[in-house]
């Protein structure tokens, strides 16, 4: 797993590259940084705001994959491909700023700077591993397992421990959870009601409070992997 020191060093070098590229972009809620199928020319680093990464299936159903914020990288899967196109949608859900760097410029920098190239490969490996575990949860554990996994990941990424439980400090609707789990809102709503009745969670103005995280982990046969490997970003 990539450690925080490595991640920080990678981010610092990328920030220097992005600043030298001279392209800082203001992002507005409700707009798209890029969309699936669009020709890819840049990779982006988030300075502020939040971006939702999603994928549409053949039936037009949207599946949420990542919720990205400060210093997260998006558009990275377009590197080193011919006539590359973005394979996901990147929708802005909170105003902010991102920095963009031309793919050819970044590829050249990765070839010329062996340390940056090495750290970037390690970061990509960790990122792909986390993505694969999300798909594993969706495929192997069913709708209930997908919901419990999503709640656990939200707690690791955006949870603030308080006396009454772990407060998820980003607004999450039932429909958002349905998109993360690849199922209907009504199904998620019923499962949330069960969890509320069992005092496992509660909700306050679109904010989730997890009162019994151990219950979710036990029900999902959690492998107790490090929190940094089990995130929603």
pTM recorded for the entire structure: 0.75
| pLDDT score at 191 | 95
| Radius of gyration of the chain, Cα coordinates, nearest whole angstrom | 18
* Residue spans per domain, the chain: 4-128, 141-229
4-128 and 141-229: identical CATH topology = no
Residue with tokens 């590259």: 17
> Has domain 4-128 been given CATH number 2.60.120.10?
yes
Residues of the chain with pLDDT under 50: 1-6, 9
| pLDDT score at 118 | 80
Closest of 126, 154, 149, 125 to residue 138, by C-alpha: 149
For 40-57, write each residue's pLDDT tens digit: 988 898 889 999 999 887
| pLDDT score at 154 | 92
Rounded to whole angstroms, what are the CA distances from 100 to 15, 31, 205, 232?
A: 10, 16, 34, 23
- Secondary-structure percent of the chain, ordered helix, strand, coil, rounded to 5: 45, 25, 25
State the Cα–Cα distance between residues 171 and 95, nearest whole angstrom.
14
| pLDDT score at 36 | 92
> Has domain 141-229 been given CATH number 3.40.50.1470?
no
| pLDDT score at 186 | 95
């Amino acid at each position: 797993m990539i450690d925080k020191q490595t991640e920080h060093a990678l981010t610092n070098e990328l920030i220097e590259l992005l600043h030298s590229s001279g392209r800082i972009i203001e992002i507005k809620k409700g707009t798209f940084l890029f969309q699936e199928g669009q020709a890819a020319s840049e990779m982006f680093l988030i300075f502020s705001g939040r971006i939702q990464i999603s994928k549409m299936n053949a039936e037009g159903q949207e599946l949420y994959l990542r919720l990205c914020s400060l210093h997260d990288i998006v558009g990275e899967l377009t590197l080193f491909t011919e006539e590359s196109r973005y394979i996901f949608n990147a929708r802005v859900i909170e105003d902010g700023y991102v920095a963009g760097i031309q793919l050819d410029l970044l590829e050249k920098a990765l070839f010329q700077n062996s340390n940056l190239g090495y750290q970037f490969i390690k970061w990509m490996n960790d990122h792909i591993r986390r993505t694969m575990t999300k798909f594993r949860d969706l495929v192997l554990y069913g709708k209930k397992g997908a919901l419990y996994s999503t709640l656990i990941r939200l707690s690791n990424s955006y949870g603030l421990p308080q006396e009454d439980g772990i407060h998820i400090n980003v607004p999450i609707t039932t429909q958002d959870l349905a998109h993360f789990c690849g199922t209907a809102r009504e199904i998620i709503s019923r499962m949330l009601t069960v969890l509320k009745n069992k005092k496992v969670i509660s909700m306050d103005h679109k904010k989730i409070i997890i009162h019994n995280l151990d219950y979710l982990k036990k029900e999902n046969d959690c492998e107790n992997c490090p929190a940094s490997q089990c995130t929603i970003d």
